[in-house]
Chain A
Amino acid sequence: MLQGTLDLLILKTLAIGPAHGHSVAYAIERQSDEVLQVEHGSLYPALHRLEDRGWIASFWGTSENNRRARYYRLTPAGRKQLAAQTNRWDEIVRAVNRILRPA
């Protein structure tokens, strides 16, 4: 996976609503139609990094099947960051496409 895209995907996933690490991992896999396979372990340092930057916040809650789990939600700063990173992503994709498929 491209450097930095994991952060973007996490932010996007959390934009829908708070989620714990396990469901974030599955959500990414599911929504990419199983194309993007995340090593679930590597998600946690990324979550930690995002929380450290103040883009997401965490709290302990109870999962669907009654397990204690650490939930993450997007902060206002995270929402702004998501918008900025999405724009940036679009620009990159457009730029790369222009090179790959010249009109």
Chain B
Amino acid sequence: MSLIRFLRRSAWDQERARELESYLAIETDENIARGMTPAEARDAARRKLGNATLVREEIYQMNTVRLVDSAWRDLKYGARLLRFNPAFAIVAILSLALGIGANTAIFQLLDAIRIRTLPVKNPGELLELRIAEPVGGRTGQFSGRRPSLTNALWEQIRTRQQVFSDVFAWSGVGFDLTTSGEARTAQGLWVSGDFFNGLGVPALIGRTLTRDDDRRGCAAPAAVLGYGFWQREYGGDPSVVGRSITLDGHPFPIVGVAPASFFGVEVGRAFDVAVPLCAEPISRGTRSALDKRAVWFLGAMGRLKPGLSVDQARAQLASISAPIFKETLPDYRAEDAKHYLEFKIGAYPAGTGISQLRRQYESPLWLLLATTTLVLLIACANLANLMLARATAREREIAVRLAIGASRGRIVRQLLAESLLIAAVGAATGALLAQWLSRFLVNFLTTDNNRVFVALSLDWRIFAFTAALAVVTCLIFGLAPAMRATGTAPAAAMKTGSRGSTDGRERFGIRRALVVAQVALSLVLVVGAVLFVRSLRNLLTLDAGFQQNGILVVNMDLRRVGLPEERRRAVFADITAKLAAIPGVSSAAQALIVPVSGSGWNNNIVINGKKYPDPVNFNEVSAGYFRTMGTPILAGRDFDERDTPGGEKVVIVTQLFTQKYFAGQNPIGQTFQIDEAPGQPRPLCRIIGVVKDTKYTDLREEFVPIGYFTSSQAEKPDPFLQVALRSNAPLTSITPAVTAVLGQVNSNIIVQFQTLPAMVRDSLMRERLMATLSGFFGALAALIATIGLYGVMSYMVARRRNEIGIRIALGADRRAVVGMVMREAGLLLAAGVVVGTALAVAAARTAATLLFGLRPGDPATLAMAAIGLGTVAMLASYLPALRAARLQPTEALREE
């Protein structure tokens, strides 16, 4: 049988019909010729031919692949049923799609930042090099996103190691693409010569960097562009090789472009431009860290030589550690030096790259994955319930079809087709949703200052897994009742709907159990949602000690102004005054560190010769800072013109500082010293004022003692200035004026703006993410569970129409009927809430570290969640109860 004939079997059937018609015509003609009347002739012809329809059917069957044909018809029939019952279809498909989509999306993200290996040659051979379990901690200055090593250490490791075929180091840095006005930053990398070769990443066009590019003192070092940057900035123009790019005001010849898949070694970020490490002094000038032994700013990796194990590598590194640390000892105090000399270089598997994003988001993402798994389970339970209800409702239809001769297999196949249709549409919608949702998540994590780059692709494993789960659920719960229905004798099944017979208790039992499970699981999610939302609220409403609204932070880069060090203090004060004079700005002050920016500076202090072990946080601000930030001065005075560079060093401290170090004394006039390295001067710092406690690096931390020095006494300021402005006007309207003022001062100043509320918001990203997503999933779970309860109650009311009708006819109060239904619903709900509370208390413990100002078992939260869910669910059950109470007994009884 040909395929064409199969596809054209209807046309073929028409052809047969015509042929049979032609037979009848000829036979009729001949019958008339034999002397019959036309009517007799026609009838006789028909008898002679036999059953024409049967003939056509026989031929039709011959043209058909029977299974395909019936499957296709089953699908069409299923689709028609779903169209007739859109509420069922939408609920079933959407809940599946959300469950599958959310799981796939979260897993995709988790896979991208946690599981997937770097897109480089044999990532399994890569080991990261850093100090193994530092004893006593490292001292010095830390910069970059992976401050594992100093340059001196890196150079020593490079020359002494023998276990790696390649070693390379890198440091992340922001390069400025502009030379004046508002800053435009590129994500830069300083890389050692073997970076690209060591990773086994070839250039897409041009070449990558080599050891020859990375020679100390290089004057015009080569630059390699990242693929995304090349596309964004140059439109993917290949002639870019040979041109030059200006970074921090210096031209770098472009020698090549990296391939699209390569984003660097830090997962969650994509580098824009990579230049050799020898270019570091070009950007940093005299602040270059290459010869500073206490500046930690490099990350390093090595590729293990073939045949060597990680343990062998570790052993060799441990054996060369002592000479390396001895050779590179910075000017430390005795205590720090002792620790330093005890350090060992460790090697850690780095095939999946390194990532800050991973550290911050790994546990939230696992938690979210658990959440979405629960959502999927609830959706499956709901689906099971819906399928059961449908199968039961169609029991009679099935019985009728069996009675008129449908085969059992045929009916089971048809129900199967329907279930598969729901699962397939749900899964397909879920796959689309996953793409959208994972992009939404990446956008959520991206801020102005932190462009998150995650290579996302549809993860087929998890999609297949979740989709299979959905299909299996559909099949089990769509088929089991069908099998049973087709198993019973049609006569019995047709009778079950009638009066007097009882419904299978057992089947109803499954439905109740499913609803209890749904309520319990959704309560867990609702509790989670309330916990995260309240944590976020606690953080947003806490008294941080400053008024964030209306603060604009202006960062200025004056490296290209060429200001001598001794003049900087005066120029900075002048710029600050000019900014404060901008109309609409109520006050302005310099601040070395802005709260919640994540930066920090701490030192140990010495009071009357006694050294205190816990370091104290410091900051350096100008007069008017506390007024600008809205932090009240509780005692003493603000900085003013008395605090001159040569004069006594003054300091303003927080309340907690005075409580900790000068409890019971008047803090004003007290003195302490900074525990400087030996040989450094240790001037006496005199306390002139006390301010309210404020948060320092992070809103989540406890208040810590803080000391503020004044910028008017700053020694050797760097060519960077940060000023906080307070204004009642919208902050975006202030920025043009600031740029204009700075342009008048010097056209080579590069400026960057941030608002404090945005910084606070960004610092709470993780909390916002958890609150948003857990809130969404909690609401979703509650909704699905409510639908489930509503479904079961409606079903129960429908099944018990007769009984309720009789009760009402016999004089039952309608309120009693409502009460009866609501009692039933309440019982299911209560069982779910009890189980759910126990589960929630256990589950919340895993989220303890992500909470703020709440305990995981917080009773108020549990109560809020249970009452919220209970109220919605009871309202949903009220509808069927009302329907039951409005039942007209005569109608209900007449119906059967």
A contact set with B: CB distance below 8 Å: 20-22, 39-42, 44-45, 48-49, 52, 63, 65, 67-70
Contact A41 B26 (CB under 8 A): no
Looking at the assembled complex, report how far the CB atom of A3 sits from the nearest CB atom of chain B, in whole angstroms. Answer: 16
Residue among A20, A39, A49, A65 making CB contact with B50, cutoff 8 Å: A39
Chain A residue with Cβ nearest B2: A52
- The secondary structure that dominates the B interface is helix
CA distance in complex: A48, B12 (Å): 11
Chain B residue with Cβ nearest A63: B26
Known: A52-B62, A67-B29. 18 other contacts (CB 8 A): A21-B19, A40-B49, A42-B50, A42-B55, A44-B16, A44-B20, A44-B55, A45-B55, A45-B58, A48-B59, A52-B1, A65-B26, A67-B22, A69-B23, A69-B26, A70-B15, A70-B19, A70-B22
Of all A-B residue pairs in the complex, the 6 with the closest CB atoms, nearest first, are: A41-B50, A70-B19, A22-B26, A45-B58, A41-B55, A69-B22
Contact A40 B50 (CB under 8 A): yes
Q: B residues within 8 A CB of A63?
A: 22, 26
Looking at the assembled complex, report how far the CB atom of A49 sits from the nearest CB atom of chain B, in whole angstroms. Answer: 7
Looking at the assembled complex, report how far the CB atom of B55 sits from the nearest CB atom of chain A, in whole angstroms. Answer: 5
Residue among B23, B29, B52, B58 making CB contact with A21, cutoff 8 Å: B23
- The secondary structure that dominates the A interface is helix
Looking at the assembled complex, report how far the CB atom of B556 sits from the nearest CB atom of chain A, in whole angstroms. Answer: 88
Looking at the assembled complex, report how far the CB atom of A44 sits from the nearest CB atom of chain B, in whole angstroms. Answer: 5
Per-residue contact bits, chain B 17-30, to A (CB 8 Å; 1 contact, 0 not):
01110110111011
Contact A67 B25 (CB under 8 A): yes
CA distance in complex: A41, B58 (Å): 11
CA distance in complex: A68, B14 (Å): 15
CA distance in complex: A20, B27 (Å): 12
CA distance in complex: A68, B20 (Å): 11
Contact B49 A41 (CB under 8 A): yes
Q: B residues within 8 A CB of A40?
A: 23, 27, 48-50
Known contacts A40-B48, A45-B58, A52-B62: A65-B23 contact under CB 8 Å: no
B contact set with A: CB distance below 8 Å: 1, 15-16, 18-20, 22-23, 25-27, 29-30, 48-52, 54-55, 58-59, 62
CA distance in complex: A45, B12 (Å): 13
Known contacts A48-B62, A49-B62: A41-B27 contact under CB 8 Å: no
Residue among B16, B23, B52 making CB contact with A22, cutoff 8 Å: B23
CA distance in complex: A52, B63 (Å): 9
Q: A residues within 8 A CB of B20?
A: 41, 44
Chain A residue with Cβ nearest B19: A70
CA distance in complex: A40, B22 (Å): 13
Contact A65 B59 (CB under 8 A): no
Residue among A20, A41, A49 making CB contact with B51, cutoff 8 Å: A41
CA distance in complex: A45, B51 (Å): 12
Q: List 11 A-B contacts (CB under 8 A).
A: A20-B23, A20-B26, A22-B27, A40-B27, A40-B48, A41-B51, A42-B50, A48-B62, A49-B62, A52-B62, A65-B30
Looking at the assembled complex, report how far the CB atom of B486 sits from the nearest CB atom of chain A, in whole angstroms. Answer: 31
Q: A residues within 8 A CB of B62?
A: 45, 48-49, 52
CA distance in complex: A45, B50 (Å): 13
Looking at the assembled complex, report how far the CB atom of B661 sits from the nearest CB atom of chain A, in whole angstroms. Answer: 102
Looking at the assembled complex, report how far the CB atom of A71 sits from the nearest CB atom of chain B, in whole angstroms. Answer: 10
Q: B residues within 8 A CB of A68?
A: 18, 22
Q: A residues within 8 A CB of B26?
A: 20, 22, 63, 65, 67, 69
Contact A41 B19 (CB under 8 A): no
Looking at the assembled complex, report how far the CB atom of B3 sits from the nearest CB atom of chain A, in whole angstroms. Answer: 13
Chain B residue with Cβ nearest A70: B19
Chain B residue with Cβ nearest A23: B26
Q: B residues within 8 A CB of A69?
A: 19, 22-23, 26
Looking at the assembled complex, report how far the CB atom of A36 sits from the nearest CB atom of chain B, in whole angstroms. Answer: 15
Contact A65 B29 (CB under 8 A): yes
Chain A residue with Cβ nearest B20: A44
CA distance in complex: A69, B25 (Å): 9
CA distance in complex: A39, B46 (Å): 11
Q: B residues within 8 A CB of A20?
A: 22-23, 26
Looking at the assembled complex, report how far the CB atom of A69 sits from the nearest CB atom of chain B, in whole angstroms. Answer: 5
Contact B22 A44 (CB under 8 A): no
Q: B residues within 8 A CB of A41?
A: 20, 49-52, 54-55
Q: B residues within 8 A CB of A48?
A: 16, 59, 62
For B1, B50, B52, the residue with the greatest tally of chain A CB atoms inside 10 Å of its CB is B50
CA distance in complex: A50, B58 (Å): 14
CA distance in complex: A39, B58 (Å): 15
Looking at the assembled complex, report how far the CB atom of A62 sits from the nearest CB atom of chain B, in whole angstroms. Answer: 10
CA distance in complex: A49, B1 (Å): 9
CA distance in complex: A48, B60 (Å): 10
CA distance in complex: A40, B600 (Å): 100
Looking at the assembled complex, report how far the CB atom of B14 sits from the nearest CB atom of chain A, in whole angstroms. Answer: 12
CA distance in complex: A22, B15 (Å): 16
Looking at the assembled complex, report how far the CB atom of B734 sits from the nearest CB atom of chain A, in whole angstroms. Answer: 86
Looking at the assembled complex, report how far the CB atom of B15 sits from the nearest CB atom of chain A, in whole angstroms. Answer: 8
Residue among B18, B29, B59 making CB contact with A45, cutoff 8 Å: B59
Looking at the assembled complex, report how far the CB atom of A83 sits from the nearest CB atom of chain B, in whole angstroms. Answer: 25
CA distance in complex: A13, B876 (Å): 76
CA distance in complex: A22, B30 (Å): 11
Q: B residues within 8 A CB of A39?
A: 50
Q: A residues within 8 A CB of B54?
A: 41
CA distance in complex: A42, B59 (Å): 10
Chain A residue with Cβ nearest B62: A48
